[in-house]
Structure 1
Amino acid sequence: MFRFFLSIVLTLFLITSSFAQKDKTERKLVQSVDKHTAYYTDLLKELVNMNSGTMNFEGVKSVGMRLKSEFEKLNMDATWKDGASWNRAGHLIAETKGNKGPKLLLIGHLDTVFEPDSPFQSYEMLNDSIMKGPGVADMKGGDVIILMALKALKKAKLLDQMQIKVVMTGDEEKSGSPIEASKKALTDAAEWADIALAFENADGDPKTIVVARRGSSSWSLKVKGNAAHSSQVFTDKVGVGAIYEASRILDSFYQELSKEENLTFNPGVIVGGTQTTFDANTNSGTAFGKTNVVAQEVTVQGDIRAVSKEQLAMAKAKMEQIVNENYPGTSAELTFKAGGYPPLASTKGNHRLLSLYNEVSEDLGFGTVEAVNPRNAGAADVSFTAGLVDMAIDGMGLSGADDHTINETGDLSKLAVQAKRAAVLMKRLK
């Protein structure tokens, strides 16, 4: 037992010694994170207790103002961009004053899915390290990690020289409209930047990082048939009715596209019958029909997620082809909603950035980091940097579980780990 214990101690000593000898500045970054972890842990608790559901504009801005004061303590220029023109609270933007090294864009968001009427409003410590709380992992923990890393760079006398822009949006969970206005702060920053680092919590595992995210958009299917007595269904005059045609289309989508890797398309709501109503704003409707009447109309609303623009274009073309191969006596129209979240494709630059992040993690003694399967990474703000920066990764935030539910948790023991990785990565990119 003693030999085993001694072996562990020596291993840790060698890792620490090797890292310390490699770069004294990096050792200062690590020490700074450790020194200030308690302060930022308290800040995270404070932020989690501030409701910032997307549609709680006052709450979102209050979180933004609280973080704005922290950026200003780091001698960064911080501004609040009002979101009235896209019907949301707004965004927080902070930037350094330096002009050396690559231009780095750090991405976070202020809002959560928990509105003021949610029963989930404050944090609770489940044990010494696991915090249960609204937005602790998605993504107030990531916002705090950004600050921790920048604080360490400041203490090491690096931050003031660097070119860093931070964008924390106020509508990641429910984008404002028009989306071009809602995401303009992000796309403008991405056009300025060389590298994008985003601080969502990936799939909750600190051993993974996101190099590709699937885009997300929505579609609507409207089907028409001939209303008639059911005794005349399948005749040349009446045809098969709208419900049969909608069923054919949806089944063909599944049969012909479901095996395409990383592509999904989900019909989320369907209304059909002789007479129907549908409100796209609320995704709800009514239907009236009789068993002895052929259905006249069907509306289906769904989403589609693809890992690249090319895959999305292929899927859309195939879906439109299927829709146009109508059953007798029917017609159908498929429309794709403009906007949505673009895909973040898996690029060589993104994988190169992952490789650098992995080297940092191994040098710090935190082990290897691998890419997340895009199927496990939903749409996020980093996708709006696609094609605009040379390299981008996401998932640098706080490990957690059960995002978007009243059981959401974050692992506070990983705050320092993630901040150290981020600070050393940014230092090496410099």
Structure 2
Amino acid sequence: MIAPEETAFLEAIEREPILSRTLEWAAINSGTANLAGLAAMAERLADAFSALPGEVSLLDPSPVEKVGADGRTHTVSTGRHLVLRVRPEAEKRVLLTGHMDTVYPAGHPFQSCDWIDADTLHGPGTADMKGGLSLMLAGLAAYEQAAPTLGYDVMINSDEETGSLSSGALIAELARGKIAALTYEPALPGGIMARARPGSGNFAVVVKGRSAHAGRNPDDGRNALVAAAELAQRLYAARRDGLTVNPARIEGGAPNNTVPDLAVLHFNMRPRSPDDLAAGQAIIDAAIAEVAASHEVSIALHGAFARPPKHVGAPTERLFTLVSQAAADLGDSMSWKDTGGVCDGNNIAACGVPVIDTMGACGGAIHSPDEFMLVSSLDARARLTALVMHRLDRQGAQR
């Protein structure tokens, strides 16, 4: 049941300000590679979150390298990450995370919002996750009216959609010592919360062979493209229950009259468990060694499993019980199920911190021009945030 002291701060949450911010933020293109848009978004977020107690900082990203079509690595620029620290001296502290970037680049045609019906807003990043950021802020503002003692950090990164490579170390640093974490990815269809998640690794393999004339002396060459293709086939054949493999792209090659001496294979692996991750790494290592030997080429591996599998243990079960009870007290039933996607909740869980990572707005068709958000979920989920924070404060750690 909702206690009288909880009713007081929950009644302060109104839908219209949350929606207004969401519309304002969705109008800013903040695709992961749009540095100007990310800078504008970061400034708006810094201004908005400064309404909470504590200190807001915009932190420079860690360096990130990417393999180009020429087989060489180059530095990728990413935006700054926002961090707000509230009551850092508190004995009990929580981490709340979200991301300001979207999957829609500056030149994408999906740039504005419109209404499908009175409750359904169609727009870029509305569900994933500018609505989530706006309701997080509203929930925290309401919680601050409840004589809070709980400390918390808010982290909003600029590169979640590309794997959080420039913010992974920051996430690990902020997760340290936290009793719980809340991440504002959109809920699954029907408002279902995500339970366990697989891990994910993105890799680039640079294959270097030897060029030769395709007519005069082809046997003197070592065909990097053929070696890369065989490597892709070997990796794909190794997929199994608990480990998906997706060879995504081969770059390189040469003119038709030349044996190609360079190819770059890009692929993704998703392990369900730590054992599957270890097996995936062993499969990669073995396939590279076998192909390199049989084709007499050199092969260099780049990338890693940046998202470990998200395990759900007893502490996370207890956190979900607290969250689902809060939802029930607010009049919403809540369930959760395993899902195939990955997010920063994977990284937080790998630090041993219980996390619920679908605290954001309800909606659907994310990562597509059909993305939409249910406006009625904004104030509902803001109340859930405020109530969960209050009960974490009063009930203590979930460990």
Q: Under a length normalisation based on structure 2, what TM-score does the superposition of the two structures give?
A: 0.82
- The 1-side partners of 2:36 and 2:292 are apart by 52
Counterpart of 2:381 in structure 1 is: 418
Residue 95 (structure 2) pairs with residue 115 (structure 1): no
Any idea what SS the aligned residue of 1:25 has?
A: helix
Shift of 1:296: 7.1
Using a 3 Å threshold, how does the CA distance of structure 1 residues 42 and 304 change in structure 2: closer, same or farther? same
Would the aligned equivalents of 1:202 and 1:210 in 2 still touch at CA under 8 Å?
A: no
Using a 3 Å threshold, how does the CA distance of structure 1 residues 74 and 301 change in structure 2: closer, same or farther? closer
Residue 187 (structure 2) pairs with residue 163 (structure 1): no
Counterpart of 1:212 in structure 2 is: 197
One-letter amino acid matched to 1:80: L
| 1:402 alignment partner, one of 348, 357, 365 | 365
Residue 118 (structure 2) pairs with residue 133 (structure 1): no
| 1:288 alignment partner, one of 247, 255, 264 | 255
Counterpart of 1:265 in structure 2 is: 245
Shift of 1:124: 1.0
Q: Deviations over 1:280-308 (max 9, x none)?
A: xxxxxx44336xx9887754221222234
Q: Under a length normalisation based on structure 1, what TM-score does the superposition of the two structures give?
A: 0.77
How big is the alpha-carbon RMSD for the aligned residues of Structure 1 and Structure 2? 3.3
Would the aligned equivalents of 1:139 and 1:397 in 2 still touch at CA under 8 Å?
A: yes
Q: Which runs of 5+ in 1 are unaligned?
A: 1-18, 272-277, 279-285
Shift of 1:45: 0.8
Would the aligned equivalents of 1:324 and 1:332 in 2 still touch at CA under 8 Å?
A: no
- The 2-side partners of 1:294 and 1:119 are apart by 40
Residue 160 (structure 2) pairs with residue 172 (structure 1): yes
One-letter amino acid matched to 1:269: R
Shift of 1:324: 3.6
- The 2-side partners of 1:327 and 1:89 are apart by 38
One-letter amino acid matched to 1:71: F
Any idea what SS the aligned residue of 1:173 has?
A: helix
Would the aligned equivalents of 2:191 and 2:334 in 1 still touch at CA under 8 Å?
A: no
Counterpart of 2:4 in structure 1 is: 24
Residue 236 (structure 2) pairs with residue 254 (structure 1): yes
Would the aligned equivalents of 1:266 and 1:304 in 2 still touch at CA under 8 Å?
A: yes
Aligned residues: 380
- The 2-side partners of 1:163 and 1:327 are apart by 53
Using a 3 Å threshold, how does the CA distance of structure 1 residues 410 and 251 change in structure 2: closer, same or farther? same
Higher helix share: 1
Using a 3 Å threshold, how does the CA distance of structure 1 residues 313 and 327 change in structure 2: closer, same or farther? closer
Any idea what SS the aligned residue of 2:367 has?
A: coil
Moved more, 199-208 or 94-103: 94-103
Counterpart of 2:338 in structure 1 is: 372
Any idea what SS the aligned residue of 1:126 has?
A: strand
Using a 3 Å threshold, how does the CA distance of structure 1 residues 118 and 189 change in structure 2: closer, same or farther? same
Using a 3 Å threshold, how does the CA distance of structure 1 residues 217 and 75 change in structure 2: closer, same or farther? same
Counterpart of 1:94 in structure 2 is: 84
Using a 3 Å threshold, how does the CA distance of structure 1 residues 309 and 126 change in structure 2: closer, same or farther? same
Residue 315 (structure 2) pairs with residue 337 (structure 1): no
| 1:352 alignment partner, one of 310, 318, 322 | 318
Shift of 1:48: 0.7
- The 2-side partners of 1:96 and 1:260 are apart by 43
Would the aligned equivalents of 2:131 and 2:360 in 1 still touch at CA under 8 Å?
A: yes
Would the aligned equivalents of 2:273 and 2:309 in 1 still touch at CA under 8 Å?
A: yes
Q: Deviations over 1:147-204 (max 9, x none)?
A: 121122123332xx2201100112222468xx4x543332221124232211011534
Shift of 1:108: 0.8
Counterpart of 1:196 in structure 2 is: 181
Using a 3 Å threshold, how does the CA distance of structure 1 residues 316 and 63 change in structure 2: closer, same or farther? same
Counterpart of 2:72 in structure 1 is: none
Q: Deviations over 1:336-389 (max 9, x none)?
A: 42456221421313233223222222232211321332x2x13x2233323324
Larger Rg: 1
